[in-house]
A and B are shown apart, each in its own frame.
Chain A
Amino acid sequence: MRPDNSIVIRIEGVTLRYGCVEALRDVTIDIKRGEFLGIIGPNGSGKTSLLKCINGILKPLAGTIYLDGRLIENLNPKEIARICASVPAEIPEHLNITVSDFVFLGRYPYIRGIWWEDKQDEEFVKRVLAYLQLCHLKRRKLSEISSGELQRVLLARAMAQNPKVLLVDEPCAHLDLKYKLEVMELLKALSKNGITIIASSHDVNLLSRYCDRIILLNRGKIAAVGKPEDVITERTIKEVYGIEVLIITDKDGIFVIPRRPLPSFSGNGSD
């Protein structure tokens, strides 16, 4: 079968289980080239699991995933890494290397010989560093830069993989308001350049403002999918999160303001 060329990721009936807990249940969705997709949902609803299925870290129990038109089981880890890059939430502690060494590691899936990156790799890394305005930091150690800068460095390593799809788990967890917007603007610009962005976050307001489409997950199932204003409604939030909210819409997006929990709500699963 030859899938539609504009579809980068096709997920069909994916079910994932940890022991006897179902983390994902029959998830089906097509994701287009250059789309900015947000994943929201309560804790334990399967956001991270879905991301890890897409880049082959977790193997689903049932269902199929196509990356760039090819069945994921037929791809080796390096081939997956050339299509899909993850922006990690953080770096391992005490990783004492320079910014440029760190970003260069993103070229690993492309290394042909042994040991050294070639000229093309270096050109690519230079372009990424310039694009993210990191050139002045390239000789600094990772421990010596601010968390806003670090977030851009993490993004740079993922971009060095020259991916078609960028997976971002909690892009703004440790960032202040200004950097949050900066990161989201960057991701938006990348998606306009044809890179598909899939971001999961608890920050419903931020995602709804930038995303083209949003998936609302509830206990491993897609509860709603579509444009932010269609997915995030007082009714769906009430159903999934079990709280009453006030939703305000203005030209910049949707703002969800939590009001009170529903007294009769039975809980929504846990981590």
Chain B
Amino acid sequence: MLKSVIILQKSIISRKIRRLLVICTIGMPILSILFLLSLAIGPVDTSIPETINSLISVLNRGGKAKTLSEVIIYHIRLPRTLCVLAVGVGLSLSGAVMQAIVRNPLVDPYITGVSSGAALGACLAVFTGVTIMGTILYTIPLAAFLGALLAFLLTMSLAEAAGGSDVSYVLAGVVVNTAFSSLMTILIILGEEKLHGILFWLFGSFAYVSWRIVWIIIVPVFALSAVILLYAYELNVVLLGDEQALQLGLAVKQFKKMMIVITSLLTSICVSFNGIIGFLGIIVPHTARMLVGSDHRILLPSTIILGAIILIIADMIARILLKPIELPIGAITSLIGVPFFAYLLAKRGRMYAAGQ
């Protein structure tokens, strides 16, 4: 017994596994506490024990809420918080993967054009006023998702025409972003009055989340995230650059393409329902990298936990800062993100400039 423990301590691999466990044992309780806090606060605050009791009794009854606080917690705050958690995970993970693929830590998951595609789709939905099941609340996410996919397909075909390297994806994304943004500007000018309501979406908001939407977000987000996690080792190999990765036996071009498709899909799902939440995909992976290093087997799980934590905090700030008015969550993440990003750019931009 003692001998095996000594061997375990010497092993580099088991040291890594232990580190991962430590990160999880620190991160998960923090995340759980924030999750409960997020359920407890709002226009009507409930205490933590009360929240736990209400939650347990509602869940025991299979979702049938009896008291007012049970209704609020189960039908409003729980779906909202679950959704925030999923989007936090999805956007942060997409950012981490995109940064590894392009080998530049300053790119965000919107680089392939999905955000402006989604925005244009959402604007079109509001502009045309098409309703599904009598409400525009379902039209916006559907149109946004289709717009995001369309933008990504355009980026992809342009990038493939330009040789299909990761850099051509970035450049094609810039072109598509610009095209879609200008179309959106025209739309906004044409439909000034009508499009006022789109603002809440453009800056991101979780105010309209219901149980019906939660599943559509959570299931694909966690499935795609699991797929990404499987490839953590390959993402380490990718950091060596295309040629060395190929020499180590990774079919690097196909792998990168697959990852770009997965992350774009993941990002599209995250933005479709809740709008464009800026900077999360840069701040979170970057902070995680500073904390735990760039081994993706440790970095990706840390990014997941940290992404969920930060977005839950941002959502709580959005809800309580100017109570009872709710601020768009994208504005909060951008407010935190802009100084952070500026700092990174000034401090490390020079270092990354030669990164290619």
- Give the B-binding residues of A (Cβ under 8 A): 55, 57, 76-82, 85-86, 88, 91-97, 100-101, 104-106, 108-109, 111, 114-117, 119, 122, 125, 138, 161
Contacts and interface: CB of A to CB of B under 8 A. Distances in A.
Contacts, number: 76
Contact of A85 (B246, B247, B294): B247
B28 interface: no
B160 interface: no
A187 to B, nearest CB: 18
A122 B239 contact: no
B249 A82 contact: yes
5 contacts: A76-B251, A82-B249, A94-B351, A108-B250, A122-B13
Contacts of B297: 115-116
B342 interface: no
Given A97-B295, A101-B295, A116-B17, 16 more contacts: A86-B244, A88-B244, A91-B240, A92-B241, A93-B354, A93-B355, A97-B294, A100-B12, A101-B236, A105-B237, A108-B250, A109-B248, A114-B233, A115-B297, A122-B11, A125-B12
Interface of B: 11-13, 16-17, 103, 230, 232-233, 236-237, 239-241, 243-244, 246-251, 293-295, 297, 351-352, 354-355
A83 B340 CA distance: 46
Contacts of B250: 77, 108
A91 B239 CA distance: 10
A117 B12 CA distance: 10
Contacts of B16: 116
Contacts of B351: 94
Nearest to A56: B246
A138 B248 CA distance: 20
A77 B240 contact: no
B352 A94 contact: yes
A61 B244 CA distance: 23
Contacts of B17: 116
A117 B232 CA distance: 12
B239 A81 contact: no
Contacts of B239: 92, 95, 97
A77 B295 contact: no
Contacts of A77: 246, 249-251
Given A115-B232, A115-B297, A122-B12, A92 B249 contact: no
A138 B13 CA distance: 13
Given A115-B232, A116-B17, A55 B247 contact: yes
A94 B355 contact: yes
B356 to A, nearest CB: 9
Contacts of A91: 240
B272 to A, nearest CB: 30
A105 B247 contact: no
A114 B230 contact: yes
A77 B251 CA distance: 7
B303 to A, nearest CB: 15
- Per CB-CB distance, the 5 closest pairs between chain A and chain B, nearest first, are A81-B249, A78-B249, A109-B249, A77-B249, A86-B247
B219 to A, nearest CB: 22
B233 A108 contact: yes
A100 B10 CA distance: 13
The winner among A80, A94, A101, A111 for most chain B CB atoms within 10 A is A94
A108 B351 CA distance: 28
A55 B244 CA distance: 11
A95 to B, nearest CB: 6
B88 to A, nearest CB: 23
A167 B342 CA distance: 43
Contacts of B246: 57, 77
Contact of A108 (B12, B249, B295): B249
Contact of B247 (A57, A79, A111, A125): A57
B125 to A, nearest CB: 40
A80 B249 contact: yes
